[in-house]
Amino acid sequence: MSYELIVIGAGPAGLAAALSARKQGLTRIAILERDKYLGGILNQCIHNGFGLHRFREELTGPEYAGRFIDELSGSGIDVFTDTMVLNVTRDKQVHCVSPQYGYRILEAQSVVLAMGCRERTRGAIGIPGDRPSGVFTAGTAQRYLNLEGYLCGKRVLILGSGDIGLIMARRMTLEGAKVLACVEVMPYSGGLSRNIAQCLNDFNIPLYLSHTVTEIRAQNGRISGVTVSKVDENRRPIPGTEMDFECDTLLLSVGLIPENELTRGMGIAIDPRTNGAVVYENMETDLPGVFACGNVAHVHDLVDYVSKESEKAGAAAAKYVLQGPNEGEAIDVINGDGVSYTLPQRIRVSALDGAAEIFFRVRRNYGKAQIEVLSGDESIAVYKRDRLAPGEMESIRLSRELLSKARGEIRVSIKEQ
Amino acid sequence: MTDVIVIGCGVIGAALAYRLSQYKLKVLVLEKQNDVAMGATRANSAIIHAGFDPEPGTLMAKLNVQGSNMARTLCEKLSVPYLNNGALVLGFDKEEELTLNKLYERGIKNGVEGLSLLDGEQTRAMEPHVSREVTLSLYAPTSAIVDPWEYALAFAEVAKTNGVDFRFEQEVTAIEKTAFGYTVITRKGRYDTRFVVNCAGVASDTVHDMVAPKSFTIRPVRGDYCVLDKNENSKAHCTLFQCPSKSGKGVLVTPTVHGNLLVGPNAVPCEDKFRVNTTADGIDFVKRMALRSVPDVDFRSTIRSYAGMRANHDRDDFIIEFAAPAFLDIAGIKSPGLSAAPAIALEALKLLEGVGLPMERNPSATDERKKLRFRNMTVEERQRAISENPLYGRVICRCETVTEAEILGAIHSPLTPHSIDGIKRRAGSGMGRCQGGFCSPKIVELLARELGISPLEVLKDGAGSYILDSETKDGEKANEL
């Protein structure tokens, strides 16, 4: 079987990319989804706050996904759920399995990678101590709670102030659990400010910044308590600052990692800063005709931006199929002072329709600050912000004229005022 | 009345049950935990040692080399992941070069085949990531890596298939001498038997003391390990040891049969033999020492850390001897216990036969087990597997590519697991980079459905390790809908 476009993943990124490619004129599109349902992680995000930018209303996760899923019916896009992609070759053969269709090799002219991300685990951050049950990543606990209908525990400590952890602090409190505290190793929160306000402050849940969990203790196979310590500027625990909490549950909300196993298997270049593919201005990877978007490319804060970025990727895939490969010299986009990554990492100025949008995250909290774009030592653009926070994705627009002045590479830096 | 009671079902108890099950004997295995391989067998270096390390003339030397020679054939017969990857012991200075020469001589005396000494350049030609500081190494081509859980499970499953009775959560609390042999007492029952074999691991001294005067004391030694993502797997092909010292074989860097990179262990004497917690200092030490062997290991790719307890003791050699008439101790089986396990079982059989255990072959017994693993299949095999059973087409564990057919196979295997970790040990699910984040809820659902229990009763691991606390406020209503 052969398609103009195969989209891997039917979360918000995959859905938006497929629909956008359809609108741009592709007719033979397939979406492959490993779960039995479309919508991805949005299905377990039953809180509201989705779609404020895109639809100007507050939707729940399933409602937000529903808007796209509704559009799918009648679009002529082939949807294969319960289908796991095992690998993709460089010539775009997609190997996948499902109980219904067995092992298939699908041919594609273009591919959109939209596999999303996974959560960092206890193992990745190496919390010492016993290894009992009751230690969950926040998203797993969220799935048990919102999709399966089970509460993981009654006395909860949350490590990490990522958005899912904050949302779960509120959700578990509403279900009758006691959330003792949220503990964050960095001196600032990793989540959205509105979630700190609505999920912690509104429920009097203390937030301990510059603290971490230094030991997990168990009784009879289940977590019975943790030790929390203050950390120094190098994130090393400070002896003598230990606090003990008795709890039956530890939730981890300590970061998300783009799931790029398929991408790596295809030999596509990965950016160690985003843990996602290196992409051009149209979300194309260094393998022509293969695009990446959503959380598989870089971790987003709001789904609205995922949809927007993925529409760009879908449209670019359509353009690739209908008009042929993109060519032209590219300039590199580099992160300068105070910036942890930029996306896209490369811009082909000649391929730009209008302006290029550059997304990035800052390394720490800033008050009034200037975002400066430099080419060599020359400042080519400056943007002002009242505040910047690592938990929130920032973006700037650079016009084609401005970019055509750049030589070789541009650098995005932050200057506090 | 049974012929033999085996106390403890780690790899030693399981290997012994496997051998005993080849004969017309009534055998009962009593295990304190709720599954096979819950002690030292579940948390160790997973190495089948070549056998150059133990002192010549010891049981450890003899049984290590014998066991290591048996492992390849056994693993093939039992579908146990095994890879003969070879080992290098690294020397960093003149003193360690002397140690390596001694190990080489010792290995020859122990009957280890194919040993050779390599200079620094030759070592790095084999293992490009090895430190520039290495001046000499001992190469042992017969060294191998194995999946220790599967090794023990395979022995136990075949024994079960052949009619051996396994009882779990049966901690032995007392043993009484009787006219015919012994009565072994647990909180759940009393079991009469003619012979007893004590394979109780770190608790083997406690069990010994139930029938005989104290003759040894277990002095448990804990070790921390880090498991790294498969993307670090190219850093070592052989198992890379440092020179052994009194406290153990030192920190190693090795690939695992699952394709990860494993580093560890340290050696910390412990008071509490049943608490296998990791410590920040232990993990730091292990990382530091591993970087001495392979300076470019990227520990940001760590996916898990764990600790294991070795049954070290106040005597030197393995303790394989009668504590009392018809009561055999197989105690203090520290490293290289995993390597020696199948040979220890044969040794025990000989000793039991010597004191009158009737050894008549059971012609209907099997000594094989077949296990299909989707991730190891070719495209054609995968196509065939799914056409025969569509559930091979549903991937439950995405990191390790484990299918629903394999999860169900694990649930309905001869020794029914009741926990997610039990499924992990049998099917390999949850061992990857997401550490079960995505597949655990699905496995809870499958376990509950297949065993006819509530998800609230599904365990993560041992007794008491419940996963879900309660239904949500509207949970019941949701189920009714």
> What are the tens digits of pLDDT across the range B279-302?
999 999 999 999 999 999 999 999
Tell me the C-alpha distance between B13 and B167, whole Å.
13
Contact residues, chain B, for A228 at CB < 8 Å = none
Determine contact, residues A254/A135, Cβ cutoff 8 Å. no
For chain B, say whether A98 makes contact (Cβ under 8 Å): yes
Q: Which of residues 163-192 of B touch A (CB under 8 A)?
A: none
One-letter amino acid at B456 equals L
- B452-459: list long-range contacts, CB under 8 Å, 24+ apart: B455/A148, B455/A150, B456/A150, B458/B418, B458/B419, B458/B420, B459/A133, B459/A221, B459/B34, B459/B418, B459/B419, B459/B420
Determine contact, residues B18/B181, Cβ cutoff 8 Å. no
Which two structure tokens, joined as six digits, stand for A36?
A: 């039995």
Q: How far is CA A295 from CA A275, A303, A349, B304, in A?
A: 10, 9, 25, 24
Contact residues, chain A, for B382 at CB < 8 Å = 97, 103
A140–B438: do the CB atoms touch at under 8 Å?
Answer: yes
Q: Which CATH architecture fits B87-141+219-310? A: 2-Layer Sandwich (3.30)
DSSP class of B355? T
For chain A, say whether B275 makes contact (Cβ under 8 Å): yes
**Size of chain B, expressed as the number of residues it contains:** 481
Q: Average pLDDT for residues B73-95, to the nearest whole number?
A: 97
Q: Above 70 in pLDDT, residue B476?
A: no
Closest residue to A150, CB basis, from B231, B283, B475: B475
For chain B, say whether A119 makes contact (Cβ under 8 Å): yes
Determine contact, residues B245/B335, Cβ cutoff 8 Å. no
A144–B468: do the CB atoms touch at under 8 Å?
Answer: yes
Phi, psi of B132 (to 5 degrees): -65, -20
Q: Average pLDDT for residues A183-204, to the nearest whole number?
A: 94
B280–A214: do the CB atoms touch at under 8 Å?
Answer: yes
What integer pLDDT is reported at residue B66 of this predicted model?
Answer: 97
B465–A118: do the CB atoms touch at under 8 Å?
Answer: no
Tell me the C-alpha distance between A245 and A134, whole Å.
14
Determine contact, residues A310/A114, Cβ cutoff 8 Å. yes
DSSP class of B466? B
Q: Prior bond to A390 cis, omega within 30? A: no
Q: Average pLDDT for residues A76-83, to the nearest whole number?
A: 98
Taking the mean position of all CA atoms in its chain, how far away is CA A105? 28
Beta bridge partners of A104: A96
Contact residues, chain B, for A132 at CB < 8 Å = 460-461, 465
CA angle (A52 as vertex; A47, A55 as ends), nearest 5: 110
Tell me the C-alpha distance between A259 and B438, whole Å.
12
DSSP class of A412? E
Contacts of B297 (CB under 8 A, 6+ apart): B129, B228, B232, B235, B253, B261, B263, B287, B290, B291
Q: Average pLDDT for residues A67-86, to the nearest whole number?
A: 97
For chain B, say whether A154 makes contact (Cβ under 8 Å): yes
Q: Above 60 in pLDDT, residue B28?
A: yes
A97–B434: do the CB atoms touch at under 8 Å?
Answer: no
Q: Average pLDDT for residues B102-112, to the nearest whole number?
A: 97
Q: How far is CA B74 from CA A158, B195, B298, in A?
A: 46, 26, 35
Say whether domain A327-417 belongs to CATH 2.60.40.
yes
What integer pLDDT is reported at residue A406 of this predicted model?
Answer: 86
For chain A, say whether B325 makes contact (Cβ under 8 Å): no
Count of Cβ atoms closer than 10 Å to residue B37 Cβ: 25
Fold for domain B1-81+145-216+312-371? FAD/NAD(P)-binding domain (3.50.50)
For chain B, say whether A131 makes contact (Cβ under 8 Å): yes
B305–A98: do the CB atoms touch at under 8 Å?
Answer: no
Asked, colleague to colleague, whether A1-119+256-325 and A121-254 share their fold, the answer is yes
One-letter amino acid at B69 equals N
Phi, psi of A123 (to 5 degrees): -60, -40
Query: For residues B30, B34, B40 and B46, what is the CA-based torsion angle, rounded to 10 degrees?
Result: 110
Contact residues, chain B, for A151 at CB < 8 Å = 468-472
**pLDDT tier at A298, thresholds 50, 70, 90:** very high
Contact residues, chain A, for B279 at CB < 8 Å = 128-129
Tell me the C-alpha distance between B54 and B62, whole Å.
9
Q: Average pLDDT for residues A61-83, to the nearest whole number?
A: 97
A220–B478: do the CB atoms touch at under 8 Å?
Answer: no
Determine contact, residues A259/A116, Cβ cutoff 8 Å. yes
What integer pLDDT is reported at residue B477 of this predicted model?
Answer: 56
Q: Average pLDDT for residues B389-394, to the nearest whole number?
A: 98
What integer pLDDT is reported at residue A191 of this predicted model?
Answer: 87
For chain B, say whether A176 makes contact (Cβ under 8 Å): yes
Min mean pLDDT across A386-390, A401-405, B379-383 is at A401-405
Contact residues, chain B, for A248 at CB < 8 Å = 469
* Host H or E run for residue B126: helix B120-126
Residue given tokens 């499970």 in the structure block: B153
Tell me the C-alpha distance between B220 and B276, whole Å.
10
For chain A, say whether B387 makes contact (Cβ under 8 Å): yes
Widest Cα–Cα separation across chain B:
75
Q: Above 70 in pLDDT, residue B94?
A: yes
Q: How far is CA A285 from CA A112, A244, A271, A319, B157, in A?
A: 10, 47, 11, 15, 48
Q: Above 60 in pLDDT, residue B479?
A: no
**pLDDT tier at B480, thresholds 50, 70, 90:** low
Tell me the C-alpha distance between A240 and A234, whole Å.
17
Which two structure tokens, joined as six digits, stand for B268?
A: 């910390």
Count of Cβ atoms closer than 10 Å to residue B384 Cβ: 15
Which two structure tokens, joined as six digits, stand for B313?
A: 């003791």
Q: Is B49 an annotated catalytic residue?
A: yes
Q: Above 70 in pLDDT, residue B445?
A: yes
- Residue spans of the domains in chain B: they are 1-81+145-216+312-371, 87-141+219-310, 374-467
DSSP E strand stretches across A59-204: 59-60, 78-80, 84-88, 93-98, 102-113, 117-119, 135-137, 150-151, 155-159, 178-184
For chain B, say whether A108 makes contact (Cβ under 8 Å): no
For chain A, say whether B473 makes contact (Cβ under 8 Å): yes
Q: What is the mean pLDDT of chain B?
A: 96
Q: How far B470 CA sits from the closest chain A CA (Å)?
A: 5
Q: How far is CA B361 from CA A17, B101, B358, B394, B445, in A?
A: 66, 45, 10, 42, 42
CATH class of A1-119+256-325: alpha beta
Q: How far B181 CA sits from the closest chain A CA (Å)?
A: 34
Which two structure tokens, joined as six digits, stand for B450?
A: 């297949």
Tell me the C-alpha distance between B107 and B49, whole Å.
11
Widest Cα–Cα separation across chain A:
66
How many CA atoms, within 13 angstroms, populate the side-chain half-sphere of residue B89? 27
Contacts of B270 (CB under 8 A, 6+ apart): B220, B221, B222, B309
Q: Above 70 in pLDDT, residue B42?
A: yes
- Residue spans of the domains in chain A: they are 1-119+256-325, 121-254, 327-417
Q: Which of residues 302-321 of B touch A (CB under 8 A)?
A: 302-306
What integer pLDDT is reported at residue A405 of this predicted model?
Answer: 84
Contact residues, chain A, for B445 at CB < 8 Å = 148
Q: Which of residues 27-86 of A touch B (CB under 8 A)?
A: 34, 82, 84, 86
What integer pLDDT is reported at residue A327 of this predicted model?
Answer: 85
**Size of chain A, expressed as the number of residues it contains:** 417
B463–A220: do the CB atoms touch at under 8 Å?
Answer: yes
What integer pLDDT is reported at residue A1 of this predicted model?
Answer: 87
What integer pLDDT is reported at residue B244 of this predicted model?
Answer: 87
The residue among B364, B25, B392 whose CA lies nearest residue B197 is: B25
One-letter amino acid at A156 equals V
What integer pLDDT is reported at residue B478 of this predicted model?
Answer: 52
Q: Above 70 in pLDDT, residue B247?
A: no
For chain B, say whether A242 makes contact (Cβ under 8 Å): no
Tell me the C-alpha distance between B264 and B44, whole Å.
9
Using DSSP, state whether B390 is helix, strand or coil.
helix
**pLDDT tier at B269, thresholds 50, 70, 90:** very high
CATH class of A121-254: alpha beta
A84–B395: do the CB atoms touch at under 8 Å?
Answer: yes
Fold for domain B374-467? Arc Repressor Mutant, subunit A (1.10.10)
Min mean pLDDT across A149-163, A344-358, B132-146 is at A344-358
pLDDT more than 70, % of chain B: 98
Q: Above 90 in pLDDT, residue A9?
A: yes
The residue among A2, A16, A19 whose CA lies nearest residue A77 is: A19
